[in-house]
Structure 1
Amino acid sequence: MNLNLRNAIITNVTGNSQDQLKDTIVDAIQSKEEKMLPGLGVLFEVIWQNSDQSTQQELLETLEQGLK
């Protein structure tokens, strides 16, 4: 069986409202389950690909600060 995890995750959240997306993200983080990490990675990929350079820079700065 060849499952494309990235497409499955995107399909699962396509059409969700901002509140639903936030709930998905918060639930994934709060659960602290390793199996949730790929989903968060896919969501971050979507954010990154749909952000301009200024927003990407802001994301990098936020990430850098959070890792200090």
Structure 2
Amino acid sequence: MGFNLRGAIMANIQGNSEDEVEATIVDAIQNGEEKMLPGLGVLFEVYWKEANEQQKTEICDIISQGLQG
């Protein structure tokens, strides 16, 4: 029997306010714990599905710039 990690994360954060989402992101980044990465991935997936083409282009540009180091 498989565990649906994406579904579990979505169930855990469903209905969170903007402040709660921000706190989750900031906490995950500040703590730097590997176990938080799947949650950030799910949040990014939610963003991507809701973003328009301009927002997608902008976020890809920002990430690309950040990877230049």
Query: Does the alignment reach a TM-score above 0.5?
Result: yes
Q: What per-residue deviation string (whole Å, max 9, x for no partner) do you get for residues 1-50 of structure 1?
A: 53210011111111111000000010011111111101101110110111
Unaligned runs of 5+ in 2: none
Unaligned runs of 5+ in 1: none
After TM superposition, which residue ranges in structure 1, 4 or more long, deviate above 4 angstroms? none
**Alpha-carbon distance in structure 1 between the residues aligned to 2:64 and 2:16:** 29
2:21 maps to 1:21: yes
Percent identity between matched residues is 54
TM-score by length of 1: 0.94
Residue correspondences, number: 68
Question: What CA RMSD, in Å, does the superposition of the two structures yield over aligned residues?
Answer: 0.9
Name the amino acid aligned to 1:15.
Answer: G
